Structure 1
Amino acid sequence: MDQYIEKTILNNGLTVISERLPTVRSISLGVWIRAGSRYENEQNNGIAHFIEHLVFKGTKKRRGLQIARALEELGGSLNAYTSKEVTHFYTLALDEHLPVCVDVLGDLVCNPLLKEADIEKEKQVVIEEIHAVKDTPEEYLYDVFQEKLFPNHPLGFPILGKPETVRRFDLRTVREFMEQFYLPENIIISAAGNLKHDRLLKLVEKHFHFERHGQRPAPVRPRAAEKVNLEINEPFNQAHIVVGLEALPYASEDRFALHALNAYLGGGMSSRVFQTIREKHGLAYMVYSALDFFMDTGIFSFYLGTDPAKRGKALKLLFKEIAKVTEKEISRTMVKRLQEQLKGQLLLGLENTAHRMSRLAKNEIYFGKQVPLEESIEMIYALDEKKIFEVAQKIINVDKLNVIQMVGHA
């Protein structure tokens, strides 16, 4: 199923990976820079995300409005995001517009103007974005959770930064970060859709030019807190609660067992915590679990929003469901259901060129190679009750669960 995947490392160190899908009309193209917030420090926290914003203000070839129009006028799209470990610029367009996609992305990454006036203006925009997150309890609480789980480490830093760090940004801060991380050896270009690899290479060589070369600093592995129990008073109507713990890195051999645990405990409407806390007891509207994977660690977390007066009962039920998977193996019948669920999610995602493009890059970033789809499916079907139980016992200690509560009015 992966027979149309090709990879080339150009002479300048830039990695280009593509997957040809001749039966579709779209192309998803992405530029992945290993330059997320975990590569920041306390002084420049938020700079990776800020640069992601700033390059859209204008380049040597295009004004900001021209950048916005370049793909929209063709029925396509252009966007970007910053995570803990990467900054990602990406496009979606018809196959005939591949040259425009490569041109625009190359322009953003290699030719941004970086004007002082734009920096000052964008600082206000990002600070408003930070305020918007703080007004969104679910997002804000998770930022606090990560900060407490990984204290004094960049993985605990908020991706957007803090108002006080953003206010300090200037042209020097921007240039220093870009000179350290916007390097061809630190960038992956991935594409999926109706395209030919050789043509993509020619376009990349034409539009991506770098003056600097080098390797990024190796990230320092975080050390998770022993146990966190924190209550924050905020004027919200609900109590918002995150419970979680350090889990597994992206490339762990046990990753699918953890995916199975996540699906079983809180990965959908049929999951244990949803059925128990919402359907049976009516204590929450939003209740779910989630996984975050990084190169050297991960997070397994649960979120619920409930009446402040009922949070004690809701937490007790949540802890009880989490504890069960460490006390007794789940049934073979349930394992088979989870296998089909994981396989279905994996294969359905491949119906989307953007998902395929993302898969190419993440395989390269976290595995250093392309993991065959068949291998992933084999790993899913190799799961059994014993393996899932073993992983649950390895990563979950109910007595050491970290709990962050944002308590509204009782």
Structure 2
Amino acid sequence: MNNYHTYTLNNGLRVIHLPSDSPVVYCGIGVRAGSCQEETGKEGVAHFCEHVTFKGTARRSALQILNTLERVGGDLNAFTNKEDTVFYAAILRDHLPKAVDLLCDIVFHSTYPDTEVGRELDVICDEIESYNDSPAELIYDDFENLLFCGHPLGHNILGSRDVVAHFTADDARLFTRKHYRPDNAIFFAYGDIDFQKLIKLLERHADVIGTTMKSDEKAPISSGSTDLSETYTDPGEHTHIVQRNTHQAHVMLGCRTFCFDDKRRLPLYLLNNILGGPGMNARLNLSLRERNGLVYTVESSMASYHDTGVWSVYFGCDHHDVKRCLRLVHHELDRLMQRPLSQRQLHDAKQQLKGQIAIACDNREQYALDIAKSYLHYGKERDIDLLLQQIDALTADQLLDVARYTFDSERLQTLIYE
């Protein structure tokens, strides 16, 4: 799994390839241009650019872009998150030249036609409204805004309809000219292809010229108090309530945690899986759902960024059960803070996590995207063998220390949709 090939073109574009024995190739371009790179008053422009990048180049119309890979059974897709935008394709290896040509064309040569941009704005605004109608998803954004208020990490990736509706083709051109540069991007491929052939294909597009504008400047994350908007009421120091009149109450609690390179991130990764990972035997699922029948969904999650991270628990329940559910969640946190895992508990937790990682690696599309993220942001090849070794080396005392720091009630914030 770790027999990577890497290369850097003269224009600064980094290339990474992981061979496989599959005739299906997953490839794409990752750009360090997410919502964190947006200027104040332009929230949502990174996601807007992702959409309109498909709307035409000097060589292709929007329809031709859609048909280039679709007509040979391929798939073209994209997504935007806090720190990057990724355009990627899945194709049979014989059609790799088509995919490389198309991806380089749309990312580095899109023209953002005014008529196409105008039509796409309606689509994006509908997406925003659909998202606003889903409190189980929206609460994640509101919670991060609570933790990172005043910093770009806090605002919604999609942006608000009031702002996005006024975006123009010039907004797309300005943002992409600044960030969609070969020296700010990578090309990744996972499949049974010849690496030298891939490099030759990419070198045909090496005339793409970057700019001298910097795209990786980040605002420092303030450690000051949270500035709640007038739509919130604050019944306590760490609890924040939003009146949304939802059928269920939706609840999140958590805190800022560790960046990608922090040595405490891996112990938290294991703790998070014990608490609320995908297994039905996760402690929170056993407590809130299986034993007490209080929730349909309860899960914990973590995300790591360049300078910080987030750990959180989410559940939805009847309004009158919120306090009881919170007590049960804190009980499980207290258990992990009060005593170390036994040797058997630690062994079983490691085996479960390693098994989940192995199965996840079998999802080839997601694995290709994980390779892209690791190489784009950290210049590292994804080393699964090393990760499994590091999990094996974790001790019960390490987990106890991280639990006592992360789950301390003085650090936790709680957000409730009523």
Which TM-score applies when normalising by structure 2?
0.93
Q: What is aligned with 1:308?
A: 319
Matched, 1:86 2:84: yes
For each residue in 1:42-86, what CA deviation from the matched residue of structure 2 results, as whole angstroms up to 9, or x when unmatched?
211101100000011222222222222222222221100000000
Q: What is aligned with 1:8?
A: 7
Q: What is aligned with 1:325?
A: 336
Output aligned runs, 1:283-302, within 5 Å.
283-302=294-313
Shift of 1:228: 4.5
Residues in 1 aligned to 2:263 and 2:382: alpha-carbon distance in whole angstroms:
12
Kept after mapping to 1: 8 A contact 2:30/2:376: no
Q: What is aligned with 1:378?
A: 389
Shift of 1:111: 1.7
Which letter does structure 2 place at the counterpart of 1:313? Answer: R
For each residue in 1:157-192, what CA deviation from the matched residue of structure 2 results, as whole angstroms up to 9, or x when unmatched?
100011122123123322221121111110011110
Shift of 1:360: 2.4
For each residue in 1:201-246, what CA deviation from the matched residue of structure 2 results, as whole angstroms up to 9, or x when unmatched?
1111224642333342322242356564221111321001111111
Shift of 1:272: 0.8
Matched, 1:360 2:358: no
Of 172, 181, 184, the residue aligned with 2:182 is 184
Of 265, 271, 276, the residue aligned with 2:275 is 265
Q: Which SS does the other structure have where 1:8 is aligned?
A: strand
Residues in 2 aligned to 1:138 and 1:354: alpha-carbon distance in whole angstroms:
26
Q: What is aligned with 2:241?
A: 231
Residues in 2 aligned to 1:237 and 1:212: alpha-carbon distance in whole angstroms:
51
Shift of 1:34: 0.2
For each residue in 1:327-353, what CA deviation from the matched residue of structure 2 results, as whole angstroms up to 9, or x when unmatched?
211222121112112222222233233
Residues in 2 aligned to 1:173 and 1:333: alpha-carbon distance in whole angstroms:
57
Residues in 2 aligned to 1:139 and 1:249: alpha-carbon distance in whole angstroms:
23
Cα–Cα, structure 1 residues 374 and 291, in superposed 2: closer, same or farther, change >3 Å? same
Residues in 2 aligned to 1:10 and 1:293: alpha-carbon distance in whole angstroms:
29
Structure 2 unaligned residues grouped into runs of 5+ = 226-236
Matched, 1:59 2:69: no
Kept after mapping to 2: 8 A contact 1:123/1:167: yes
For each residue in 1:258-282, what CA deviation from the matched residue of structure 2 results, as whole angstroms up to 9, or x when unmatched?
1111111100310111000001111
Cα–Cα, structure 1 residues 234 and 356, in superposed 2: closer, same or farther, change >3 Å? closer
Shift of 1:309: 1.2
Q: Which SS does the other structure have where 2:54 is aligned?
A: helix
Residues in 2 aligned to 1:350 and 1:344: alpha-carbon distance in whole angstroms:
10
Kept after mapping to 1: 8 A contact 2:9/2:206: no
How many residues are aligned here? 405
Residues in 1 aligned to 2:67 and 2:246: alpha-carbon distance in whole angstroms:
40
Identical residues among aligned pairs (%): 33
Shift of 1:393: 1.7
Matched, 1:128 2:138: no
Shift of 1:94: 0.9
Residues in 1 aligned to 2:287 and 2:111: alpha-carbon distance in whole angstroms:
54
Q: Which SS does the other structure have where 1:210 is aligned?
A: coil
Residues in 2 aligned to 1:399 and 1:275: alpha-carbon distance in whole angstroms:
26
For each residue in 1:332-387, what CA deviation from the matched residue of structure 2 results, as whole angstroms up to 9, or x when unmatched?
21211121122222222332332332232222234322253322111010011111
Q: What is aligned with 2:257?
A: 247
User: Does 29-38 or 244-253 show the bigger shift?
Assistant: 244-253
Output aligned runs, 1:3-82, within 5 Å.
3=3, 5-21=4-20, 23-82=21-80
Q: What is aligned with 1:101?
A: 99
Residues in 1 aligned to 2:374 and 2:262: alpha-carbon distance in whole angstroms:
12
Cα–Cα, structure 1 residues 142 and 356, in superposed 2: closer, same or farther, change >3 Å? closer
Residues in 2 aligned to 1:356 and 1:123: alpha-carbon distance in whole angstroms:
31
Residues in 2 aligned to 1:230 and 1:208: alpha-carbon distance in whole angstroms:
51
Kept after mapping to 1: 8 A contact 2:108/2:181: no
Kept after mapping to 2: 8 A contact 1:148/1:228: no
Shift of 1:97: 1.0
User: Does 116-125 or 94-103 show the bigger shift?
Assistant: 116-125
Residues in 2 aligned to 1:321 and 1:260: alpha-carbon distance in whole angstroms:
15
Kept after mapping to 1: 8 A contact 2:54/2:62: yes
Q: What is aligned with 1:168?
A: 166
Which letter does structure 1 place at the counterpart of 2:107? Answer: V
Which letter does structure 2 place at the counterpart of 1:162? Answer: S
Kept after mapping to 2: 8 A contact 1:18/1:357: no
Cα–Cα, structure 1 residues 237 and 208, in superposed 2: closer, same or farther, change >3 Å? farther
Residues in 2 aligned to 1:323 and 1:70: alpha-carbon distance in whole angstroms:
55
Residues in 2 aligned to 1:225 and 1:305: alpha-carbon distance in whole angstroms:
29
Q: Which SS does the other structure have where 2:59 is aligned?
A: coil
Which letter does structure 1 place at the counterpart of 2:365? Answer: A
Shift of 1:90: 0.6
Superposition RMSD in Å: 1.6
Which letter does structure 1 place at the counterpart of 2:249? Answer: A
Q: Which SS does the other structure have where 1:389 is aligned?
A: helix
Q: Which SS does the other structure have where 1:398 is aligned?
A: coil
Q: What is aligned with 1:220?
A: 219
Which letter does structure 1 place at the counterpart of 2:245? Answer: P
Q: Which SS does the other structure have where 2:410 is aligned?
A: helix
Q: Which SS does the other structure have where 2:295 is aligned?
A: coil
Shift of 1:292: 1.2
Shift of 1:255: 2.3
Which TM-score applies when normalising by structure 1?
0.94
Kept after mapping to 1: 8 A contact 2:301/2:311: yes
Shift of 1:397: 1.4
